[in-house]
Amino acid sequence: MILKSKDSRQSDIQELNRLLNLKPTAKQRFLIERELKCLMSGERNEQNSAYYLDFSYKDSKNWAVIHDLRIEHRGRVAQIDHLIINRFLDVFVLESKNYYYGVKITEEGEFLVWDGKTYQAIESPYEQNQRHIEALRQAIVDRNLGPSRIGLAIPIRFRNIILVAPTSRLVKPSSSTFDLSCVIKADAFISFADKSVDKKSIIEAPKIIGSDTLREFSEKLVRLHRPATIDYAAKFGLSGVADRQAYEAPPVVAIQETPTSTPVYGTDENRPVCRNCRSENLTIVYGKYGYYFKCGECNGNTPIRVSCGKDGHNARIRKEGQKYFRECAECGSSTLYYVNK
């Protein structure tokens, strides 16, 4: 049974696109476009995870599904992507992550993501989700929301689960500081949850609650939901420019900006050429020393040098599919640089 679907973020997307029409500075534009890109990427990832859950549980009376649950309690905020509850009162708290290149977990429990060049440490989604669980647990206890039998509260077991996109690479060590089985591909969760039920012993049978009690308990949790409201204008320093003359800018999906000094290649004009044979049949590839052009005619290499046009700034190349962007963290600029054919 599905008791709550994901909240729509269309109003947030529209607001971010509106801010792009207020002539923000280059840095503000970069930050807004990055926020918009992350928002839309997160939307797609959570929708994909929700698809697998809804497909298996929408008609089930033994499982309750709650998407996008935001709880405020005792100064804590828990933003839970998916909550899955069964009649044993196993509460699976799912944190959905979309790591473009994949994620690697070390034996010390550290999470690393590959950025196309090297591994970068990130905040542990396991610890992040654990904080969500503690806020949820406290809210249930303080409000006495849990089911009971003959006046005694039935124990609730919380499960911390990290869902990774099915297309992402997942690298785990042989052992770690936490149970590595909790980090799984989104399309493998159903089998994981079914196996956890199959392992239940007969001793746990008296703990089973009825479908009506499961629904009642889940609906109580849904009523805790407090949608987030974000003042994006204030967040990006545009609160006082709402009345400025706006210019037309199309809704942004991929980051694009007029280049300052680095030309945009990958079109019929202004294409780079191989430094050896002068051929235009080039493809950007990644090697030991970073990105470079590989010639399809002579197999020679041509180095790539990018600049934002400002002295002292260190621009870099970022890959997105077949597109390559020139980005500068110092001035906040991002420009489409080249498109592989």
Q: Residues 144, 145, 151, CA angle at the centre, nearest 5°?
A: 65
Examine the domain organization and report whether 85 and 217 are in the same domain: yes
Examine the domain organization and report whether 16 and 60 are in the same domain: yes
Inside any domain, residue 244? no
Percent of the chain with pLDDT over 90: 21
**Confidence at residue 39, expressed as pLDDT on a 0 to 100 scale:** 80
Phi and psi based region of residue 95 (left: phi greater than 0; alpha: psi -120 to 50; beta: remaining)? beta
Higher-confidence residue: 235 or 242?
235
Higher-confidence residue: 331 or 254?
331
Examine the domain organization and report whether 39 and 150 are in the same domain: yes
Q: Which of 201, 232, 263 is the last residue of a domain?
A: 232
Inside any domain, residue 197? yes
CB distance 70 to 135 below 8 Å? no
Query: pLDDT by residue (tens digit) across 250-285?
Result: 554 444 443 333 444 444 445 788 888 888 889 998
Inside any domain, residue 260? yes
Examine the domain organization and report whether 72 and 106 are in the same domain: yes
Across 65-79, average pLDDT: 90
- For the chain, how many structural domains are there in total? 2
Residues β-bridged to residue 77: 72
Rounded CA-CA distance 110/102 in Å is 14
Residue 49: closest CA among 193, 172, 166, 131: 166
Examine the domain organization and report whether 209 and 265 are in the same domain: no
Examine the domain organization and report whether 135 and 282 are in the same domain: no
- Largest Cα–Cα distance in the chain? 85
Query: pLDDT by residue (tens digit) across 208-232?
Result: 889 999 999 999 999 999 988 888 8
Q: Which of 232, 264, 292 is the last residue of a domain?
A: 232
Examine the domain organization and report whether 212 and 262 are in the same domain: no
Inside any domain, residue 74? yes
CB distance 309 to 261 below 8 Å? yes
Examine the domain organization and report whether 108 and 169 are in the same domain: yes
- Look up the pTM and report it: 0.64
Helix (H), strand (E), coil (C) string for the chain: CEEECCCCCHHHHHHHHHHHCCCCCHHHHHHHHHHHHHHHHHHHHHHHHHHHHHHHHCCCCCEEEEEEEEEEECCEEEEEEEEEEECCCEEEEEEEECCCCCEEECCCCCEEEECCCCEEEECCHHHHHHHHHHHHHHHHHHCCCCCEECCEECCCEEEEEEEECCCCCEECCCCCCCCHHHEEEHHHHHHHHHHHHHCCCHHHHHHCCCHHHHHHHHHHHHCCCCCCCCCHHHHCCCHHHCCCCCCCCCCCCCCCCCCCCCCCCCCCCCCCCCCCCCCCCEEEEEECCEEEEEECCCCCEEECCCCCCCCCCCCEEEEECCEEEEEECCCCEEEEEEECC
CB distance 329 to 27 below 8 Å? no
Examine the domain organization and report whether 228 and 325 are in the same domain: no
Inside any domain, residue 149? yes
Rounded CA-CA distance 264/129 in Å is 42
Inside any domain, residue 242? no
CB distance 158 to 133 below 8 Å? yes
Inside any domain, residue 304? yes
Examine the domain organization and report whether 134 and 6 are in the same domain: yes
Rounded CA-CA distance 238/307 in Å is 28
Inside any domain, residue 292? yes
Examine the domain organization and report whether 98 and 214 are in the same domain: yes
**Confidence at residue 251, expressed as pLDDT on a 0 to 100 scale:** 53
**Confidence at residue 241, expressed as pLDDT on a 0 to 100 scale:** 63
Examine the domain organization and report whether 299 and 208 are in the same domain: no
Which residue type is seen at 182? Answer: C
Domain extent for 262: 254-339
